[in-house]
Amino acid sequence: MAATADVTLGFMPLFDSAVLVAAIEKGFVGDEGLSVHLVRETSWANIRDRIAVGHFQAAHMLAPMPIASNLGLTPLSLELVAPLALGLGGNAVTVSQDLWRRMTAENAGPGTDPSANGAALRRIVERRRASGEPPLRFAVVHPFSGHNYELRYWLAGCGIDPEKHVEIVVVPPPLMADALSTGAIDGFCVGEPWNSVAVASHAGRIATTKASIWRLSPEKVLGVSARFASENRPALDALLRALYRSSMWCGESANHEELAALMSTPAYLDLPRERLMPILTGRLTLGGGATGYIPEFFVPHAKGATFPWQSHALWFYSQMVRWGHTPHSAALAERARDTYRPDIYRQALRPIAAPMPGANMKVEGALTVAAPVGASEKGLVLGPDGFFDGRIFDPDRLDDYVASQR
C-alpha cells in the first residue's frame, strides 16, 4: 500500500544531490504516493538546524555528519540515522596552477596518480619546511566530511602530516575556485562540479581524485531525523524506495545527458551543463590541456552504492579518532556504526526485490577485482575497492586499525 505523506528534504547545490532531484523530477516519489519538497540550503549547518526544528525530515548529508552529530561532536547535536547512501565517489583534489607547476618539476603528472603526485607534493612540503616558508593551505567543505578525511588519508599516506605540515581550512564549495585563484588557498578537496569549475576558470589543476585515493568510497547519505524515522516508517520506507529507483535512473548512461540538463537548471546547480558531464562520464579536464579518464569516478547506483555499509561508518569513525576529532571507546564505535541503518534499507526495499548483500559490513579495500556477492535473486557486484596505499580496513579489527594509524 502506498504511504501518503508530505516530506521536506534539504539539499546543498552539489552534483551528488542528483538522486534526490531525479526522485522528484522523474516522478519516483509520486509513484510511492509521497509529496516531497526539496529546499536548497546555503550551509550544512542550516540543514542540521532545520532538521532540528522540524522544517526538514531528512536531507542530503556528508556521510560523517550524522555520525558526528550522534557522537555529540557538533554544536547542535541531534539524533540522526543514515538508512541510504547517495552514491560513491564524486570528489577530487585540485591544486593551484602555481603549486601544480612546482609539483610537475617534482615529477607529478601527467595523470592523477595519487602516489606519484603525492610524492611530488611531499618534496615541496619538505622543502618549504626546511626553508621556513609558511605551510601550504588546503580547503575542505566541512570538518566532518569525506573530503576532509580522504584528503588527510592521502596526505598522510604520502608522508605529509595534515596536522603539522599543511594547514586545512573550511571554505564553502562555490567559493573554492575564487579562493584558489586569489591565493587564499593552495589546493582543495571538493565534490564536482567545483573541481571542473576551477579548471575551467584556469584557477587550478586536478591533482588526484577520491576514486583514485579510495575506489568506490562513501560520500553522501540521506540523513534522517531519528524521531521521524521511528514515527513515520511507512513514509520513510516509501521515500527509500523512490530514492533507490531514482539512483537506478541516475546510474543509466542513457539518462546522463538528461540528468546533467536537469541539474544545470537554476533551481538546482545553475551551472552550464558541460560542467556537469565530467562527473557522470569520468572524463575529466584536468587543466593545462591534460585530460583523464577515471573509471567509476562517481557511482550513484551500481556496486551497492546506495547500501548504508556499517563498515563505511566505522571507517569514518576510525578517521575521526585518528585526527583527534573524537576519543575512542567501544561504546562510541558502536554508536558510530549504528548511525547507519541497513536494517531500515533492507526492510524498505524488500517489496521491490532490490539485490542485497548478505552482510552489513565488509572488509574495505580487499577487492582487487569486481566480485559478485549476496543472497538476493538479482546479483550484486562489488568492487574493486582498493585504497591507493594498498591498506585494508577490517571493521572487525577496528582497534588494530586505529592503533596502526597513530
Partner 1 sequence: MIHRDLTILVIDENAIRASIIEAGLRDAGHSRVSVVHDVHGVGRVIERLQPDVIVIDLENPNRDLLESMFQLSRSVKRPIAMFVDRSDSRMIEAAIDAGVSAYVVDGLRQERVKPILDMAISRFNAFSRMERELADARSELADRKVIDRAKGILMKSRGIGEQEAYKLLRTTAMNQNRKIAEIAQSLVLAAGLLEDL
Chain residues that interact with partner 1, rule: CB under 8 A: 42-46, 49-50, 52-55, 73-77, 141-143, 169-172, 174-175, 184, 325
- Beta pairing partners, 209: 92
Output the smallest distance, CB 173 to partner 1, in A: 9
Closer CB to partner 1, 188 or 388, in the complex = 188
Radius of gyration, alpha carbons of the chain? 20
Q: Which of 93, 311, 118, 96 is nearest to 210 (CA)?
A: 93
Output the smallest distance, CB 325 to partner 1, in A: 8
Closer CB to partner 1, 306 or 326, in the complex = 326
Dihedral of the CA atoms 337, 341, 346, 348 (nearest 10)?
Answer: -170
Closer CB to partner 1, 221 or 286, in the complex = 221
Output the smallest distance, CB 180 to partner 1, in A: 14
Identify the three-state secondary structure at position 370.
Answer: coil
Output the smallest distance, CB 52 to partner 1, in A: 6
Output the smallest distance, CB 67 to partner 1, in A: 14
Task: Give how far Cα 371 sits from Cα of 8, 217, 357, 367, Å.
Answer: 37, 16, 12, 7
Output the smallest distance, CB 148 to partner 1, in A: 9
Per the CB < 8 A criterion, the answer to whether 393 and 363 are in contact is: yes
Closer CB to partner 1, 136 or 260, in the complex = 136
Closer CB to partner 1, 173 or 342, in the complex = 173
Closer CB to partner 1, 184 or 392, in the complex = 184
Residues in the chain: 406
Closer CB to partner 1, 23 or 198, in the complex = 198
Output the smallest distance, CB 41 to partner 1, in A: 9
| Other Cβ atoms closer than 10 A to 73 | 16
Q: What b/e sequence results for 310-338 when a residue is b if at least 16 CB atoms lie within 10 Å of its CB, and e otherwise?
A: bbbbbbbbbbbbbbebbeeeeebbebbbe
What are the grid coordinates assigned to 130, written together? 626546511
Q: Kindly provide the residue ranges of all beta strands, DSSP E only, lying in 294-377, ordered along the sequence.
A: 298-299, 371-373
